[in-house]
Amino acid sequence: MAKKLRKWIVLGLLVVAVLLGYLWITSKTAPMPAGPDFYVRYDKPTPLRTILSDMQARGVIRDADALALLAELIRKPEKIQPGTYKVHAGLGAPALLDRFQKPIFLKVRIPETNWAARTARLLETKYEVCRADEYMALVHDPAQFAKDVSFPLPKTSLEGYLYPDTYELEPLMGARAVVLRQLKAFQDKIWDAYNHPKDLSRVLVVASMVELESGHDADRPKIAGVIENRIAQKMRLQIDATLLYGIQKWRRLTFADYKNLKTPYNTYTHAGLPPGPICSPDSKSVAAALNPDRNGKYVFYIAMPDGHTAFSATFAEHRHNIKLRDLEKKVLGR
């Protein structure tokens, strides 16, 4: 009888211990008050216990030891893989542990019309991929990437070489990884695709102007032709986009701007091509720069309200197109 009683006492103590353990782990792993989402990044495989200590320090969880014990009981991996993860205070314990099994990837669209500083702001403010100043520091230090690519890099700036595309990027991954991805894409889609173009830097200068000036793909070779025709005739290019790049602002220009804004990218006051690319052109604009359409001998063009571009070979024709544009704007109420 005494033996049986001892058995029940031991069993009762075990039940109490389990119950107390359950209450302890439940209280210690209860969600914290809700907070905003934020990203955390680990660049190498990291023990889960280390990560949970980080989460406790940042106020996401109550007790790292308790959550580590729970993770062991439900057989979560002891290490997480490198990557970026999104968490917030207020997550339940199982949900938080699940978050660290799924690194975050974002579809990041870098537009063709962006110059580097605009891309830098986009990466920082919209996607939290890297800091803008970190990105721009690398843009102005091309030598860092000399061993990573097979094409000749410029000396002072990667402007024009940072291929625009939709990339799958991780928040907090850092600027170097982004720049390297863009340069690798440039190597594949421009350098190799067009059989290693000669005078690459000049091609990119022309292509970048075509990129910002063209509204339709069919216009690109003609706009490239206008640029080459004007250079051949020693006419100033007079392209607004170069001036906007020079002041690093995208805004409506005034008549005074054309004369008074002091920048080597002012193609109203400076002859010839601008000193460098003014954006990162895509492959279609590069193709146009490599094969400009000069058959029409056009030296003027103007964007019309309906979206097409009107080209002309004489100033009289150009003035006529300007009148047509202004009439269309009046009719359309623009």
**CATH number of the domain where residue 37 is located:** 3.30.1490
Note whether residue 122 is domain-resident: yes
Domain C-terminal end among 192, 225, 255: 192
Mapped onto helix, strand or coil, the DSSP state of residue 185 is helix
Condensed to tens digits (0 to 9), the pLDDT of residues 273-309 reads 999 999 999 999 999 999 999 888 999 999 888 878 9
Note whether residue 316 is domain-resident: no
Note whether residue 188 is domain-resident: yes
Model's pTM, two decimal places?
0.86
Note whether residue 9 is domain-resident: no
CA angle 65, 67, 70 (to 5 degrees): 110
d(C-alpha 275, C-alpha 111), whole Å: 22
Q: What is the dihedral of CA 88, 92, 95, 98, to 10 degrees?
A: 80
Phi, psi for 106 (deg, rounded to 5): -120, 145
Are residues 73 and 115 both part of a single domain?
no
Total domain count for the chain? Answer: 3
Are residues 88 and 148 both part of a single domain?
no
What is the pLDDT at residue 308?
83
Domain C-terminal end among 155, 171, 192: 192
Phi, psi for 18 (deg, rounded to 5): -65, -45
Condensed to tens digits (0 to 9), the pLDDT of residues 181-229 reads 999 999 999 999 999 999 999 999 999 999 999 888 999 999 999 999 9
Find the DSSP H helices in 199-293: 200-213, 220-232, 240-247, 255-260, 283-290
Tell whether the model's pLDDT for residue 313 goes beyond 80. Answer: yes
Instruction: Give the domain extent around 266.
Output: 200-298
